[in-house]
Amino acid sequence: QRQLNFTDPHNMQVQFSIKVLCRGINHMDFSADGHTLLAACEFSGDVLKIDLKSRRVTGLLHLGGMPQDVKLSPDGQVYYVADMMANGVYLIDNAGKIPRQLGFIPTGKGAHGLYPSRDGTRLFITNRGDGTVSVLNFASRKLVARWTVPGGSPDMGSVSANGAEFWVSARYSNEVYVFDTRSGKLTHRIKVGRGPHGLTYFPQPGRFSLGHTSNYR
């Protein structure tokens, strides 16, 4: 429908909507001050900057491909945007009204989900097309590890409340994976039903829901 709806958190009634020109607006994250957000439009390959005070789109950046998950860096300066067709992560400057690409980091085939560690030092990136999880260091903005699941398809998940485990669904493998976040070891492969896509670990610490699979910060 090419619009973003804002609802009352108590009764879920739509309070207002913002029309957008892109197609498939999906994942998004808020700026640290809560005044703006960056949203990915996966069907048209765009990211949008939206001002929440004026309730309007202030800028659009066409990336191409199929942008997916969006996460703000702990310092509030950069948005990370996974792209499952570009097979990596875009770095988008948070400053200004118009999104600006700062760089691109290849991570693996089908880069899809982005999950910060509980201590805010690392970002776990699921590459569902090649059965891997890439680990990025926020401070250096470089990849520091790669966890492999033979024959796997890690998709979407969340970090446990104590930060010790990363749980992730395997969309094309009918499993759930559990990784040790310190060693990167795959500790469990749990058989589930067909096509598991989203997974959330509860309780989740944090005050603000980032939507989609209900991760909080």
- Residue 214 pLDDT grade (very low, low, confident, very high; cuts 50, 70, 90): low
pLDDT the model gives residue 203: 80
Q: Spell out the residues 6+ positions from residue 48 whose beta carbon is closer than 8 angstroms to its own.
A: 20, 22, 25, 38, 39, 41, 57, 59, 60, 99
> Phi and psi at residue 63, in whole multiples of 5°?
-95, -25
Q: Is the pLDDT of residue 121 over 90?
A: yes
The region of weakest confidence among 43-47, 177-181, 206-210 is: 206-210
Give CA angle at 21 (33, 85), nearest 5°: 85
d(CA 112, CA 65): 12
- Per-residue pLDDT tens digits for 9-46: 899 999 999 999 999 999 999 999 999 999 999 999 99
Instruction: Indicate whether this model's pTM tops 0.85.
Output: yes
Q: Tally the C-alpha atoms within 13 A of residue 96's C-alpha that lie toward its C-beta.
A: 9
- Residue 160 pLDDT grade (very low, low, confident, very high; cuts 50, 70, 90): very high
Q: Is the pLDDT of residue 215 over 80?
A: no
d(CA 82, CA 68): 5
pLDDT the model gives residue 198: 84
